Amino acid sequence: MVPVYLSYKIMSEVIWKKIFEKSLHELYGNRDNFFNELKKLDALRSGAEYNTGSITTSSAWCLLSASNYFMPKKVLEVGTFIGKSTYAIAHGSDLALSKTSIHTCDLSNDIKLDLPVSSEVICYPKTSSTDMFRAIQNQGLKDFEMMHVDGRLQADDFPLIEKLLTDDAVILLDDFEGIEKGVANVFNFGAQKKLNKYLIVYPPETDFLNKYGFHDCSTTSILLPKQLLQLTAQ
Ligand SMILES: C[S@@+](CC[C@H](N)C(=O)[O-])C[C@H]1O[C@@H](n2cnc3c(N)ncnc32)[C@H](O)[C@@H]1O
């Protein structure tokens, strides 16, 4: 028999649609407030030692929707910078009435975040991912259900990540295009033979984003544990 072939491209669109549409009305109702707060964070650039890129509007919406959908209790983040991604994840959880706790590090910057969220944000300024993961492990913390990577993971990170994440943790990666760091991070997951448990969800396409009123691009991809994919009757 001929199998039914589903491309990663088709699967990715379906998965983003489910994630975007779970609480769309509620998220849209808060949209202006969300983007106003996000814009205010640009002012923090003036205090940056390493003034680099932040996430796009579409990527912020992807992170907001993903944390609102998955409702993780604990999140790891690599690459705080001016905190746009941290804010998107925290606010998405707040809107789901599911307070989260986000541990976020940045190797090059020491920017103080004062985010208008009820979720907890624990910053590790001037700290590498490896050092943050070690510090978290030394505090006896584990069972993180989500990780956002907007930095370059190091070889020493992988054994620590394995200990800190739950088996069904969702991993979001920025800059998943070309030969950028998101792709490098996925390759490194592959090199650690950890990729076979995940489905790679590609960043949403521009046409898809346009339908929701977004006109820039997103490079946010997801490593979605295959066990989180379920077929339903309806
Ligand atoms: C693109 S910026 C992050 C933007 C941020 N997510 C935002 O929304 O504003 C990437 C940051 O990650 C940091 N970084 C890169 N690799 C890192 C690592 N392995 N550990 C800690 N920080 C890292 C860099 O210093 C840089 O400030």
Q: Report the separation in Å between the CA atom of 43 and the middle of ligand 1, taken as the mean of its atom positions.
A: 17
CATH number, domain at 44? 3.40.50.150
Q: Report the separation in Å between the CA atom of 6 and the middle of ligand 1, taken as the mean of its atom positions.
A: 34
Q: Which residues contact 104 (CB under 8 A, 6 or more apart)?
A: 76, 77, 78, 79, 80, 83, 86, 121, 122, 123, 124
- Residue 36: is its pLDDT beyond 80? yes
Q: Report the separation in Å between the CA atom of 219 and the middle of ligand 1, taken as the mean of its atom positions.
A: 15
Judge whether 119 and 94 are in contact, CB under 8 Å.
yes
Give pLDDT, residue 44.
Answer: 96
Query: Among 39, 52, 81, 121, which residue has the most ligand 1 atoms within 8 Å of its CB, making it the best to mutate?
Result: 81
Give pLDDT, residue 234.
Answer: 76
Q: Report the separation in Å between the CA atom of 124 and the middle of ligand 1, taken as the mean of its atom positions.
A: 11
Residue 33 lies in a domain: yes
Residue 156 lies in a domain: yes
Q: Report the separation in Å between the CA atom of 105 and the middle of ligand 1, taken as the mean of its atom positions.
A: 8
- Domains in the chain: how many in total? 1
Residue among 124, 66, 121 nearest 99 (CA): 121
pLDDT digits (tens, 9 = 90+) for 179-222: 999 999 999 988 787 788 999 999 999 999 999 999 999 999 99
Residue 47 lies in a domain: yes
Residues with CB under 6 A from ligand 1: 50, 52-55, 78-79, 81-85, 105-109, 128-129, 150-152, 154
Residue 224 lies in a domain: yes
Count of CA atoms in the C-beta half-sphere (13 A) of 177: 9
pLDDT digits (tens, 9 = 90+) for 124-151: 999 999 999 999 999 999 999 999 999 9
Mean pLDDT of 108-132: 96
Which ligand 1 atom lies nearest to the CA of residue 48?
Answer: 27
Q: Quote the pTM value.
A: 0.97
Provide the residue range defining the domain that includes 89.
8-228
pLDDT digits (tens, 9 = 90+) for 47-99: 999 999 999 999 999 999 999 999 999 999 999 999 999 999 999 999 999 98
Residue 181 lies in a domain: yes
Q: What angle do CA 56, 182, 119 make, to 5 degrees?
A: 60
What torsion do the CA atoms of 215, 26, 8, 71 make, to the nearest 10 degrees?
A: 130
Residue 1 lies in a domain: no
Residue 234 lies in a domain: no
Burial label, 136 (beta-carbon count in 10 A; 0-12, 13-18, 19+): buried
Report the nearest-CA residue for atom 4 of ligand 1. 54
Q: Report the separation in Å between the CA atom of 25 and the middle of ligand 1, taken as the mean of its atom positions.
A: 31
Residue 154 lies in a domain: yes
